[in-house]
A = this chain, B = another copy of it.
Amino acid sequence: MNKGRLEAFSDGVLAIILTIMVLEIKVPQGSDFEAIKPLFPVLSSYVLSFIYIGIYWNNHHHLMHTVKYVSGNILWANLHLLFWLSLVPLVTNWMGKNPFAPLPMALYGFMLLMASIAFWILQQQILKKHGKNSLLAQALGNNFKGKLSPILYLIAIISTCYSEWISITLYTLVAFIWLIPDKRIEIIFDEKLKEVD
């Protein structure tokens, strides 16, 4: 099987998810400041989801870099990840239209939680195919971010019963954690490339 087509397909799905989120934002009725006021929470949740899809694209990019063989399991683990991410536009818009409502906010966290679990499953499938001593296994190391994120999502989901601000803060915090460059994979590859040179 061909890794290039898996990457291209995933890129296609992620590019579409990123772009159609805007389609869910309805054009305001009217042309004054009053008309665009309800757009602010919608746009804020759009920005957050845009960053999350960007992070997933980035991580997916890094993960696939290490892949040599694509098995049926890897293919379906990848589709499973895309499934949860495909729900992002729906949940994002629901949260944006009902700012600070607990249920949409909890479901947003649930979707993020399931996507992070799906990403972990995809990693495991790739590790299983490529061996514990593979480049990926070294690059992942202790995978601190990957382990921390689902825990923070879980706390954020439970927090929606008490205060929406805790959830919002946690969703934003996890995004920030991932935005901080994780040099591990890049460094190991750079070393490999140097060895090749």
Binding site for B on A (CB under 8 A): 1-2, 5, 7-9, 11-25, 27-28, 30-33, 36, 47, 50, 54, 57-58, 61, 65, 72, 75-76, 79, 82-83, 86-87, 89-90, 93-94, 97-98, 101-104, 107, 179, 181, 186
A57 contact set on B, CB distance < 8 A:
9
A18 cross-chain contacts in B, Cβ below 8 A: 13, 82, 86
Interfacial chain B residues near A14, Cβ < 8 Å: 9
Q: How many copies does the complex hold?
A: 4
Report the minimum CB–CB distance from A36 to chain B (whole Å): 8
User: In the bound complex, what is the Cα–Cα distance between A57 and B44 (angstroms)?
Assistant: 26
Bound complex: CA A118 to CA B35 (Å): 27
Q: Which chain B residues lie closer than 8 Å to A32 at the CB level? A: 103
- Across the interface, which residues of B come within 8 angstroms of A79, CB to CB? 50, 54
Note all chain B residues with C-beta closer than 8 A to A20.
16, 19-20, 22-23
A50 touches B83 (CB 8 A): yes
User: Would you call B54 and A2 a contact (CB within 8 A)?
Assistant: no
Residues of chain B with a CB closer than 8 A to A36's CB: 103, 107
Q: Is the CB of B24 within 8 A of A23?
A: yes
Residues in chain B near residue A28, CB distance under 8 A: 94
The interface residues of chain B lying within 8 Å CB-to-CB of A94 are 27-28, 31
Which residues of the partner chain B approach A83 to less than 8 Å between Cβ atoms?
47, 50
The complex places the Cα of A104 from the Cα of B28 at a distance, in Å, of 10
